[in-house]
Amino acid sequence: MFDDSEDGDGDRNIVLKLMRLWQDERHAPDLLLFQGDVVERALQLLSDQGDLVTRLQTREDTSEEEHFKMMLVRTEMERVKFVIRSYLRTRLYKIERYAPYVLSTPEIQPRLSAMELAHAAKYGTLIASQFNSAVLAHVPESLRTLDDDDMHYTPAIVTKPNLDLGVFVHARANCPNIRMSDGNTVEIHKDDLQLLRYRSVEDALRRGLVELV
């Protein structure tokens, strides 16, 4: 990964943290807490590393071997960028998909960055204006609502994340209190691999006791 001889474990940890954030976000049906500081630090590291590589590459006394190493470093940098991009895009995808839900659920909003929340608001407005101009403006007024609840055989219009989705969970520590959907509590041990409902592990995930794989 990163050259960990100088700043040592710190840099390496950021990348590992980023990888876990990315995997968790990719596997979780719900939006997780945005970790802006990790993303920002990773970008800062990439920026510094980029400067360093450029400097070394233009120096005459850089050896062949060092040039080869730098090629590896730069490839690795591209791979880290890939992870950041995929992380951010996965979040944008969920934010757009659940925009009306995010906007009508204040409890969820602290999990988003200011930019993400603004994005959700803009996307919600954009979709609503599409529905309005293509369809709703041409139908009876009583049918123009976009927040119809789940009633009388018609499911609710606002899509929510499916918290009952099954997820593969790897325990990073012992988790004594995993509440199952039937109300029972089970314990999962460190390094166990389990298939559970997302709802059951939501809390443990938030506390960093488990990771999604």
Partner 1 sequence: MSEFKMFGEQAMGLIVEARRAAAQTASDPSTLPPKYSEMAVQNVCRELRMLDEDFQRTLAIHYARSDDDPGVAPPKPIVCAVTMYDQAMKRNKRILLAYIQSRLDRLRDLYWGAGGALAHLLGNAALRERLSPHEVDFLRQYHDMVVVARAEYEFGDILDLTAGIDVPPKELHVDVRVLKDIGDVHTEQGTIDFRKGQRFQLRRPDIEHLIVQGYLEEIRH
Chain residues that interact with partner 1, rule: CB under 8 A:
39-40, 43-44, 46-47, 50, 71, 74-75, 78-79, 81-86, 88-89, 92, 96, 115, 118-119, 122-123, 126-127, 130-131, 133-135, 138-140, 142-143, 148, 152-154, 157
CB 81, min distance to partner 1, A: 6
Comparing CB distances to partner 1, the nearer of 75 and 184 is 75
CB 103, min distance to partner 1, A: 15
Comparing CB distances to partner 1, the nearer of 95 and 188 is 95
Comparing CB distances to partner 1, the nearer of 140 and 183 is 140
CB 155, min distance to partner 1, A: 8
CB 30, min distance to partner 1, A: 19
How many beta carbons lie within 10 A of that of residue 168, not counting itself? 12
Comparing CB distances to partner 1, the nearer of 130 and 174 is 130
Structure tokens at 61: 């006394």
Structure tokens at 59: 């120096």
